[in-house]
Amino acid sequence: MFKEGQIQGVEIKKLKRFTDERGWLMELFRTDEVASEYHPVMTYLSLTRPGIARGPHEHIDQADYFCFAGPSDFKVYLWDNRPESPTYRKRMTIVVGETEPSVVIVPKRVVHAYKNVGDVEGLVVNCPNRLFKGEGKKEPVDEVRHESDPSSPYRLD
């Protein structure tokens, strides 16, 4: 059903560590490097244990701006679920995190998941362009979850 390949609109930006005797610093977001449609309106941090996956799910009106900087590695799965997209029905996977610090920008309606493939707990920062549950948390969650559907075409390895 899905073919491997690049997905239009998905951006992968390598992150650079600036290291000195105190440790390291990494710029995660700059307005001069990201299209305004992906500018964050909130930020959250999640911890995922080794071997655990989050997703697959998609958003109808939200884009995600995931920052994978370590201390573990994550396999990111993406499926283009947009019939109007030239890359409709493409699937791509990448490994990012400790060994390849990266930002992964996921446009709305691109199904996505990630799995901690390292040996330690991993942190992920997300800076989505929509507020969770809207202003004042009064709206429905903008999420279509696929992980509990046994007939879902969105499968992780």
Per-residue pLDDT at 38? 96
Per-residue pLDDT at 65? 98
Per-residue pLDDT at 76? 98
Return phi, psi of residue 24, to 5°.
-145, 160
Per-residue pLDDT at 147? 92
pLDDT surpassing 90 at residue 139 = yes
Query: pLDDT tens digits for 46-92?
Result: 999 999 999 999 999 999 999 999 999 999 999 999 999 999 999 99
pTM value?
0.94
Per-residue pLDDT at 72? 98
Share of the chain above pLDDT 70, in %: 100
Share of the chain above pLDDT 90, in %: 97
Q: How far apart are CA 143 and CA 87, in angstroms?
A: 21
CB 97 within 8 A of CB 122: yes
pLDDT surpassing 90 at residue 157 = no
Structural domain boundaries in the chain: 3-131
Rounded average pLDDT over 105-130: 98
SS (H, E, C) the chain: CCEECCCCCCEEEECCEEEECCEEEECCCCHHHCCHHHCCCCCEEEEECCCCEEEEEECCCCCEEEEEEECCEEEEEEEECCCCCCCCCEEEEEEEECCCCEEEEECCCEEEEEEECCCCCEEEEECCCCCCCCHHHCCCCCCEECCCCCCCCCCCC
Q: Where does the pLDDT of residue 105 fall: very low under 50, low under 70, confident under 90, or very high at 90 and above? A: very high
Class of 3-131 in CATH = mainly beta
